Chain A
Amino acid sequence: MTDIVSSPISTPSVPWLERVQRVVTAFAIPLAFPAVLVLLWHLASTYELMPEQILPYPAYVWDAAVDAIVGGDLLKQISFSAGRVTAGFIAGAVAGLVLGFAMGFWHWLDDHVRPLFTAISQVPTIGWIPLLMLFLGLGEALKIVIIAKAAFIPIVMNSSAALRSIPPGYLEVARIFRFNKLQRLRLVILPATVPPVFTGIRYGLTKAWTALVAVELLASSEGLGYQLNWARQMFWLDTMIFSMILIGLVGFVMDHILARIEVRLQRWKLTD
């Protein structure tokens, strides 16, 4: 190995080396700061600058993570949370798209529904939780409804605005080409509305995930939010920190997947 790298003739290995260097700088610099933090954290707990109940050893957090992963408990909690968020999000997204597009198409519907919708969206999702707890109890229905509501609001807003914001020129061109209704829908309206609608969907998913955490913290007996709340009651800081990291990670992965889909859909728009 070293032989090839050091020999000046082997030019093909140089870009390879450069790439390694680039990867190292791309990861080393962003990771330096957290590494320093973890080191400080470790030193603080080693020299007992902080009581262990307030700041556990970083190693304990790691152990808690390993335990949860190996024990299979983690997978169970994640699948509970992911299942809820998927069900709630799909329900909210479908309802939101239907209402949003309907409001975009028909002015009279918009006129009738908009003020009520605005009033409902003014009360934050977290405000609805205690009220709905009284109506729906603490079961699964409560969680799905809360998550669906959280996703519903931004999706309605964006999809109703999307139809209105199609440049009139596009529709004019469609008229000149004598597109029929289906063609107009497929070739003009859908592609033009994809970007704003998708922004709404992504935003809705973020909201749904936050709502899931809220509702699981308040009323649940399984899932990531529950695990977090349980850890708080038991003063297990290691599990708590680990759960927080997971909540961030799952949220990030979901948003990332949607971002990928968004790029794909836009590409279809450009090529089709």
Chain B
Amino acid sequence: MTDTLNAPDRHAGRKSLNIPRGWRLPILLLILWQVSSEFSLIDRRFLPPLQDIVAAGWKELTEGDLLVHIAASLGRDIAGFVMGSIAGVAFGTLLGISKIADRFIGPTFHGLKQIAVLAWIPIISVWFGFAESAKIAFVTLAAFLPVALNTIEGMQSISPQIIEVGRSLCFTRRQIFLRARLPSALPSIMTGIHLALIYSWLATVGAEYFMAVGPGLGGLIISGREHFEMDVVMLGVLLLGLIGYSLNKIAETVEARLLRWRDG
């Protein structure tokens, strides 16, 4: 409560430390980490000193094939993401514009989407084997769901007046679709695709955990865990987060650019 009173000169800060507030906690934790592992307050195997993680990264990069792992994961991610998004837009459009399709297939789709996506892994691995195709199939499924869902919603939420205007201007069905439905559904579709990008990255890692054959970041983490190489596991988790974060940022930028017409 006192804070609200001090709010105006919040950024003036105290003279003692000029570290930005957001950095203080992480820096403190890192120092604690480093100190406790240097002085072996905690078993080094559990909390390796920071330089070990950097060293592990360097070693994997130069001697191991970290880049191969990353490339393999990204390749799967993108393949599944693209296929899933295309399928999702197509399926979502069908259900979005056709009442009959929506009434017949919609309930089944909404029922199936209740199944936590990871629960599909066993059956997909039986159907597709443990090969590359199984992983990509799973990523495709994970990308498909949010895109399909948001496309349906976007297509159905168009205001009837817009369609009426189209009709009174004697638009053909095709024109109504291309000039009215599609543009008005676009923001929603973009949201779906954005979600799909996040989900497909999760799914890539998940697929690699369960079908840990061949290169990939998930496989790297799992094998690091099996050999109790904490530094490799931490490196993997760090990369996971970094790549996920970058993908998210890219999607945000692209989305903002594509939807610029709305503000203009």
The residues of A with any CB-CB pair to B shorter than 8 Å are 29-34, 37, 53-54, 105-108, 111-116, 119, 122-124, 126-131, 133-135, 209-210, 213-214, 217-218, 225, 228-229, 231-232, 235, 237, 240-241, 243-245, 247-249, 251-252
Contacts and interface: CB of A to CB of B under 8 A. Distances in A.
B209 A218 contact: yes
Contacts of B240: 123-124, 127
Contact of B233 (A112, A134, A214, A218): A134
Contacts of A34: 108, 111
Contacts of B46: 134-135
Which applies to chain B's interface (DSSP): helix, strand, loop or mixed?
A: helix
B97 interface: no
Contact of A131 (B7, B119, B234): B234
A228 B238 CA distance: 30
Interface-centre pick from A114, A119, A124 (highest chain B CB count, 10 A): A124
B237 A127 contact: yes
B123 A213 contact: no
Given A133-B225, A218-B209, A251-B115, A231 B122 contact: yes
A116 B27 CA distance: 10
B22 A235 contact: no
Contact of A217 (B118, B202, B242): B118
Interface string B211-252: 000000000011011001010011011101110110010000
B114 to A, nearest CB: 4
Interface residues on B, range: 35 or more
A126 B125 CA distance: 19
Contact of A251 (B3, B116, B230): B116
B103 A29 contact: yes
B162 interface: no
25 contacts: A29-B104, A54-B127, A106-B3, A107-B3, A112-B24, A112-B25, A119-B241, A123-B240, A123-B244, A124-B240, A126-B202, A127-B240, A130-B224, A130-B225, A131-B234, A134-B230, A135-B46, A209-B116, A210-B118, A218-B210, A229-B122, A245-B115, A247-B119, A251-B114, A251-B115
A193 B1 CA distance: 18
Most buried by B among A111, A130, A225: A130
Contact of B121 (A116, A217, A249): A217
